[in-house]
Amino acid sequence: MGAVAVLGRGPAPAVPTDLTITVHDDEGTVSKNHLRLEHARDGVWLTDLGSTNGTEVLADDGTTAALPAATRLALPEGARVRLGRRAFTVSLVVRGA
């Protein structure tokens, strides 16, 4: 069974089982409901929820690719994601290591 989280300034779950993660942003670059992050058996998925300042995936060479709103994208291990002026890295957590 996977997990779904909505990230944003003041996120609200789309369905009752969604987790919410508040991203503190004094600059106002993160939307209330900015993006949706899904962890499932087939990988980690990202969807921009129509955010004002967009969501980008950052490559190792420093280039960025904007994620169009409502587009679901599979993220590889180590992917870096920017929402507004905040960023996070997708990493695998190994239990018992």
pTM of the model: 0.88
In this model, does residue 95 exceed pLDDT 70? no
Mean pLDDT, residues 20-30:
96
- Domain assignment present for residue 10? The answer is yes
Q: Which one has a higher pLDDT value, 22 or 95?
A: 22
Question: Domain range holding 31?
Answer: 3-89
pLDDT in tens, 45-81: 999 999 999 999 998 888 899 999 999 999 988 899 9
Spatial CB neighbours of 32, under 8 Å, sequence gap ≥ 6? 8, 9, 10, 11, 12
What CATH number is associated with residue 15?
Answer: 2.60.200.20
Strand partners, 82: 56, 87
- Domain assignment present for residue 68? The answer is yes
Number of domains the chain is built from? 1
pLDDT in tens, 30-40: 999 999 999 98
Spatial CB neighbours of 31, under 8 Å, sequence gap ≥ 6? 8, 9, 49, 50, 51, 52, 53, 84
